[in-house]
Structure 1
Amino acid sequence: MNIESIAKIVAELKAYGNQTPSVSSDIELSVCIPARNEAQTIWKTLTALANQLSGDKAVPTQLYEVLVLCNNCNDDTVELCKVFQELNPEFPFYIYVTNNPANNNVGAARKVLMDLASERLTDNGFIIMTDADTIADKNWLHSFLKLQTEPVDLVCGQIIPDMKGLNTKAKKNLFENRHYLDLVSRLESEIYPQQSDPWPRHSHNSGPNMAVRNLVYKNIGGIPPIACLEDIALYQKVISSGYAVKHAMEPMVTTSCRSSSRVPGGFGSQIQNWSASKTENVEGYAKLRERFTAFAEIRQYYSQPFEELLNSIGHRLKIQKQMLRSLIEKHHSSNSLVIYLENFLEDHSPWNAAHPNINIAEAIHELEDHFSVFSQTSKIYSSARSELSSLKRSM
């Protein structure tokens, strides 16, 4: 879907009845929910948002709003939203409806809604993404309000899967996948740390729980209106542009694990594979260590370009020096190059031949072994420092 079509739909929705509320400078959070045939789930989603707390009191309604785009629905989603609105007149909830066939994927729907929200917020406000099958923790909005004062531009919150209805195989594979990703995130924090995103942190960066600073959203041209993985594309655009990202332990949501995938390659597709007991091959410890070390050297090279660093990066990633120089000239920052390489290396034959992916259970075992040794070494150093301090005090 092109940008002109999206702008046209945004203009149409702004004129939709009298639903568009007047803009208030007090609004700090705008929650955006694309909904297509979500009659089975959206009531619970809205109920959780209407009961948000800050301590033991309700979050002040002047600080936030909830925008729902009912996109080409042919069930009772629109009617349920209207009933909820009537029953909760104090809840800052606004319904938009489009039956425009051009708005035919979740990426386009998110962009339409987030562009609407962007026009309504100050530059410092957060545009928050979530889904109509997702239940926010009772302190969800309060957590974003606290994070708004921190020097971060994109917040990725924790996503807890609702595993009701999953078979045993799917539950096992889901747990294994999440455990692996958390171990990878810990290793990345150890080798290639980010000042805005220290450990402990999680590994989730997708649509059910993400917030972007409005000025940043404008500067990067908004979320890409693509058919799937639009949330990951936004995440990568923010990092490539040099903005600060934080994988915060709070805020938290619970999202459904429905296996009826609405988009190819989405979470539903993963659930289908896990339910069929299809195991994954992933990066093992050695491959991850080489990749993260190379990324750390790339960041160092952009600060102090030494030939030895260039040689090391090329050797680690199996990229010829001439190509590496060309990529460095093309990418204005280390962040931009790292995001490019994360995608490039997936299909880079020399890299994958040198470091073949391995079974996820084996990769988990390798990473757990690393952190077990790392933890024991830390204890030894800590004990030695304590003994040294005691000796100094006794002298």
Structure 2
Amino acid sequence: MIGILIPVHNEEALLGECLDAALIAASHPGLAGEAVQVLVVLDSCTDSSAAIAEAFQVQRLEVQARNVGHVRGVGARHLLNQGARWISCTDADSRVAPDWLVAQLALGADAVCGTVTVDAWSEGFDPAAQIRYNLAYQARDGHRHIHGANLGISAGAYVRAGGFEPLACHEDVQLVRNLERCGASIAWSHSPQVITSARLEARAQGGFGDYLKSLMLAS
């Protein structure tokens, strides 16, 4: 079984599109009928995220942590206990491509670090900041970006690396560093595609939204 892990904190505006995309990827014919379990881990949600998730054929867990590393760790353990051989991570403000899972698995690595494409720049986002982002971002194979919105790990490598640490931010970066220390094979690929939002209201302090905000402040 393959698991798709999605942490959620107050994502009512974007969660429906995220789950639509994840379920399409889960039914891709290239998976040859292998079961895929989509897991939503709702963390301290006070909006309608839970109700939105209930409308989809996905599993749901609820925690009160306000800590994305803890949330990803809880979700990964749940999927491993269900027999997942591979865990694909994305974010609730992102939409994975239909062949996302197929593209990750085709790389034959212990872990896959994919790139992200910004969907639509937020209204008022400084064009100069957009240029700075595009100049710095490596949308190609061999990049060195790490995104929780586009990350895949085999069950064995995940366990050997010790799993997600309960960090409020950069839990994905820490996991990849631990994977490297364990000697895991990592594919730094532009093939698995994910579209993510350009919102500046970051759910995790120090995350992608704060990075985009820093580009604005540099103007």
* 1:224 counterpart residue number: 165
Deviations 1:49-77 (A, max 9, x none): 222364xx485564211000111100000
Q: Residue 36 of structure 2 is aligned with which of 60, 64, 70?
A: 64
Task: Label 1:247 to 1:272 Cα distance change in 2 as closer, same or farther (>3 A).
Answer: same
Asked whether 1:254 is paired with 2:216, we answer: no
* 1:79 counterpart residue number: 51
Q: Residue 96 of structure 2 is aligned with which of 109, 116, 136?
A: 136
Contact 1:158 1:253 survives alignment (8 Å) = yes
Specify the code of the residue in structure 1 equivalent to 2:40.
Answer: V
What SS does the aligned partner of 1:44 have?
helix
RMSD: 2.0
- Gaps of at least 5 residues in structure 2 are none
Asked whether 1:263 is paired with 2:204, we answer: yes
* 2:182 counterpart residue number: 241
Asked whether 1:175 is paired with 2:134, we answer: yes
Relative to the length of structure 1, the TM-score reads: 0.52
Task: Label 1:94 to 1:201 Cα distance change in 2 as closer, same or farther (>3 A).
Answer: same
* 2:105 counterpart residue number: 145
Specify the code of the residue in structure 2 equivalent to 1:140.
Answer: W
Specify the code of the residue in structure 2 equivalent to 1:117.
Answer: L
- Gaps of at least 5 residues in structure 1 are 1-26, 86-92, 183-199, 279-395
Quote the Cα distance in structure 1 between the aligned partners of 2:155 and 2:52.
30
Task: Label 1:38 to 1:60 Cα distance change in 2 as closer, same or farther (>3 A).
Answer: farther
Q: What is the number of equivalent residue pairs in this alignment?
A: 216
Quote the Cα distance in structure 2 between the aligned partners of 1:112 and 1:50.
21
Higher fraction of strand: 2
Quote the Cα distance in structure 1 between the aligned partners of 2:23 and 2:35.
13
Relative to the length of structure 2, the TM-score reads: 0.90
Identity %: 26
Q: Residue 71 of structure 2 is aligned with which of 109, 113, 116?
A: 109
Contact 2:23 2:38 survives alignment (8 Å) = no
Asked whether 1:161 is paired with 2:109, we answer: no
Task: Label 1:104 to 1:45 Cα distance change in 2 as closer, same or farther (>3 A).
Answer: same
State the 1:169 CA deviation: 2.3
Specify the code of the residue in structure 2 equivalent to 1:43.
Answer: G
Specify the code of the residue in structure 2 equivalent to 1:112.
Answer: V
Q: Which runs of 4+ in 1 moved over 3 A?
A: 57-62
Asked whether 1:97 is paired with 2:62, we answer: yes
Quote the Cα distance in structure 1 between the aligned partners of 2:174 and 2:214.
23
